[in-house]
């Protein structure tokens, strides 16, 4: 799993912690959307191959 590195990014300010929190949230959201798009493409590819196999 992707864990936020608070010990690296957070120097004694709360603002740095908040920016790190939002950064990790955006990165996690980007990774989830990327994995979702990848699964969607794989599913479309499998459906396309299945349809071609039906027509053969």
* Residues ≥6 apart with Cβ < 8 Å to 5: 20
Q: What is the pLDDT of residue 1?
A: 45
Residues 1-56 have pLDDT tens digits of: 444 555 554 445 555 555 666 677 778 888 888 888 889 999 989 888 888 887 76
pTM over 0.85: no
Q: What is the pLDDT of residue 17?
A: 53
């Amino acid at each position: 799993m992707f864990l936020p590195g608070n010990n690296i990014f957070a120097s004694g300010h709360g603002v740095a912690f908040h920016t790190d929190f939002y950064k990790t949230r955006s990165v996690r959201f980007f990774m989830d959307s990327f994995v979702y798009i990848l699964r969607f493409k794989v599913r479309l590819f499998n459906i396309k191959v299945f349809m071609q196999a039906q027509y053969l």
